[in-house]
Amino acid sequence: MTASCALCEPSPLLTLWQDDFCRVVLLNDVDYPAYCRVELKEHVKEMTDLAPIDRARMMKVVFAVESAMREIIQPDKINLASLGNKTPHVHWHIVPRFDGDKHFPNSHWGEATQSGKQPEFSLSVLAALKTKIAELIPCALSS
């Protein structure tokens, strides 16, 4: 744990799934309501600082979240990103994208290209996403 690292602390965000290695949180972004992040629980700066087996484990979680998102909310595209420029702690962004979102086709961190917005998701849809994530991750980790 590093004193200045927000990801080393327990997350104030809604945790959709977690184990002793990582957690999946819902970012609750008004423009991207199903936007999730997979956060490594240990303070590690780069993916290549992890042992190969742990790199694979992290990516299995990321891909399971992507699969759950594709099934439940059916976005036009999913963006996966691991930057860490502001927070040098291994974490992955899983961002569902829709043709009408305000940044499409650019990065959601970039300048808005239109006034559109993503579809709104009811609490039941987000609950279904959480359930699907909890179903897919253990399957992915056991393979």
Average pLDDT over residues 30-39: 90
Backbone angles phi, psi at 22, to 5 degrees: -155, 175
Q: What does the pLDDT look like over 8-25, one tens digit per residue?
A: 999 999 999 999 999 999
Q: Domains of the chain, with CATH numbers?
A: 6-142 (3.30.428.10)
Asked whether the predicted pLDDT for residue 118 surpasses 70, the reply is no
Contacts of 140 (CB under 8 A, 6+ apart): 60, 61, 63, 64
Q: What does the pLDDT look like over 47-99, one tens digit per residue?
A: 999 999 999 999 999 999 999 999 999 999 999 999 988 899 999 999 999 88
pLDDT at 116: 67
Asked whether the predicted pLDDT for residue 33 surpasses 90, the reply is no
